[in-house]
Structure 1
């Protein structure tokens, strides 16, 4: 299986907080795929727990790396787009 990765930007004025973290986790669980997120240069975490996501302490303007284990590039791009929308606030 290949991994598709992209960068998203935290645009919410509050940063990555409970609501977008919960939306991302719900999306990850519905997709059934392994999705990891984290700051560049740091260890990525599985995006299947809101607490894990909030522990990243991502602030407004920070870039986050998203990695999705799938062969389906269209699906991965759709998921990345939805994650970016959740981070707009």
Structure 2
């Protein structure tokens, strides 16, 4: 089973280097695989170049899929992180 949620980016600068770095650091705290999808592109949230390569701008909606042993905790905390930082 997996957890999935959508999130709309509200940061005026989108997902630029600083928040992307924080996001990757947060994702690396979990055993679960965390995938971020924008449009038809999906990337591993634990890879900075993948995250930045999505080119997420303010107002873009991303889908986050979390799968693994700690997925419930990871999904809840990761969603809260996004709300506070993006």
With the shorter chain as reference, the TM-score category is 0.7 to 0.9
Number of the residue aligned with 1:83: 82
Question: Which whole-Å CA distance do the structure 2 matches of 1:68 and 1:37 have between them?
Answer: 9
Number of residues of Structure 1 aligned to a counterpart in Structure 2: 85
The answer to whether the 8 A contact 1:25-1:49 is kept is yes
Number of the residue aligned with 1:30: 29
The answer to whether the 8 A contact 1:37-1:67 is kept is yes
Compute the displacement of 1:49 (Å): 1.4
Q: CA RMSD in A?
A: 1.6
List runs of 5+ in structure 2 lacking aligned partners. none
Compute the displacement of 1:74 (Å): 4.3
Number of the residue aligned with 1:15: 14
Number of the residue aligned with 2:54: 56
